[in-house]
Amino acid sequence: MEHNNPIREWRQASLEAGHSTGELCQKIEHIMNIIQGQRMRSNRQEDHDSSTASPPAPRPAAKLRGPWARLLRAVLDLAGGQAELARHIERDWASATFSGTRHSVTLSFTGPEAAAAGEDFIAALPEYAFDIPRWLVADATISAVDDNQLPERELVVEVQLLVLEDA
């Protein structure tokens, strides 16, 4: 039984309408900013409505301005528009001298042409020079590759990226 995936359907319709992967990432970033703003307004309203009203704790806005959307756009561009973003996980990271975020990104390349683009992506990623203002991609590695042949070729690639704040 085949399940509908609304995100996959929206992405496919957008690509068929001529939107690029970068434009899709910009739309997703815009939607995430709207959702975050609605959550903040909702939380302020809940705090205001409570009988023990206290000023709401400020929410960190840095995540919204962080590198994740530009990083995903760059990764998808490197994939030649042939990959579908299957998963993205971001975690804060710090050492004694540096701070930043660690990203785990899973991409799916479905079909023979996309799988060939996935193989090119795997070869290019370790030496790729990311251009993300105020951020430095210090490490970019392929952590897993799953090459499924049936019913249609699908190359699933898991990428680990360490992104540091550029002083």
User: Is residue 32, in this structure, part of any structural domain at all?
Assistant: yes
- At 64-82, the pLDDT tens digits run 457 899 999 999 999 999 9
Query: Both ends of the chain: CA-CA distance in Å?
Result: 52
User: Is residue 95, in this structure, part of any structural domain at all?
Assistant: yes
DSSP 138: E
Give residue 3's pLDDT band: very low, low, confident or very high (50, 70, 90).
very low
User: Is residue 127, in this structure, part of any structural domain at all?
Assistant: yes
Domain count for the chain, please give it.
Answer: 1
Q: Any idea of the CA torsion for 27, 13, 122, 63, to the nearest 10 degrees?
A: 20
- At 9-54, the pLDDT tens digits run 555 666 666 666 556 555 665 555 555 555 555 544 544 444 445 4
Confidence check: pLDDT of 154 > 60: yes
Distance CA 130, CA 164 (A): 12
| CA-based R_g, the chain, Å | 19
SS3 154: strand
Q: Taking the model in full, what pTM does it have?
A: 0.62
130, 122 contact by CB (below 8 A) = no
73, 131 contact by CB (below 8 A) = no
User: Is residue 148, in this structure, part of any structural domain at all?
Assistant: yes
User: Is residue 77, in this structure, part of any structural domain at all?
Assistant: yes
Range of the domain at 67: 6-165
User: Is residue 1, in this structure, part of any structural domain at all?
Assistant: no
H helix or E strand, kind and range, residue 62: helix 62-65
- At 104-150, the pLDDT tens digits run 999 999 999 999 999 999 999 999 999 999 999 999 999 999 999 98
Q: What is the model's pLDDT at position 130?
A: 94
